Each structure stands twice: as structure tokens, then as C-alpha cells.
Amino acid sequence: MVAERIRITDEKLLSDNWYVLRRYTFDYLGKNGQWTTQQREAYDRGNGATILLHNPETDTVILTRQFRLPTYVNGNDTGGPLAGMLIETCAGLLDNDDPQTAILRETEEETGYRLQSVEKVMEAYMSPGSVTEKLFFYLAEYTADTEREAGGGIDEEEIDILELPLSQAMAMIGTGEIRDGKTIMLLQHLRLRQLA
């Protein structure tokens, strides 16, 4: 096996209005032993973390619902007040924090729940063909006694907090009411864990 298969020869900043979009030119050593020059664009918005809160006593989960413009322009237009709204697990960018610190912060900001502990269950690249982001996935338990503030996000987020039976959330995957990848992954992870 050849140790070096990729040599980046040029990097050009295309945009940094919201996050960073770069075009990379690189030489790639194929399986046939031949080098080819290729170009790709990569969107860097930093890494993130997501969490599913589960109450084992009631078998309910906490999800959020908020407007997501990219889903709206790609067909998530149900009309009415839910146009562009997406049901998802609490999530956010790491900023300069480690993943666990970031998810504790995001959980309190979005849902209001102040968690003492979380369990990391996996890491995944969610759209590796064009986005650099790695997502850290967590589970945590909550109960009726878990300390809670208002939640709902900060600034312009306007986040609705949903408490649903796990069985209903799972059914909503099949009906298309839940279409967010990270949310589907965490719901299925929790359900598979229950079946084990």
C-alpha cells in the first residue's frame, strides 16, 4: 500500500460569507497506480454534536422543530405554518468547545434541560462528498425531575420543543414526518438498544 495517495496542490477560498467554501486541486493515486489531477469543493462549517434525550420511565423522547431554509428550497414546503420546518434532535456546532461541552450547552439552549451526564454513542461524517463536518452523537436520560429552563433556542432560532413517545417518533420516520438523518440515526440506535 502506498503511504501517500493524495497531494493537495492548490486551495482556493470561494466564499466565507456564512462558513467557508474552498476549491481544492489535488493529485490522486488510483488503484491502477496512475496519478490523476482532480478538483473538488468542500464546505467547512466546523464539527457538531447532536443528542437524543430519552425518559426510560415513560419511553418518551425530546425532539425539536425549527425552520431549515435548505430543506424548504429542496421541497420541504408543506404549506401553512409548518413549511420548511424540520423535526430533529437537539444539535449544534462545537465552536471552540469539546463535543461533550458543546452538546451540554446546546441541550440547555435549545431544550432547556440541564444534563449532568451524556453518553457518546458514535461519530459520523454526514455528507462526506461535499461537507467536512464530523458529527458526534450522544444519548442522555431525562426524567420529570431533570432541572429545566425555558429552552427554545437563542436569537432567531425559534425552536419548538416536542416530547413524544418513542413509538410515535419511530412511526414518524415511516410517514415522512421525521426526515432528518441524524435524528433517524439516533432514534434507530435507541430502538435497537432496547431490542438487544
Annotated binding site: 91, 106, 110, 157
Distance of alpha carbon 23 from the chain centroid: 24
Alpha-carbon span 39 to 188, nearest angstrom: 36
Q: Quick check: 185 and 124 in contact, CB under 8 A?
A: yes
Binding residues for Mg(2+): 91, 106, 110, 157
Measured at the CA of 31, the angle between CA 30 and CA 35, to 5 degrees, comes to 25
**What 3-state DSSP class applies to 73?**
helix
Q: Look up residue 107 and give its three cell numbers.
A: 441541550
Q: Calculate the CA 107 to chain-centre distance.
A: 13
Residue with cell 414546503: 77
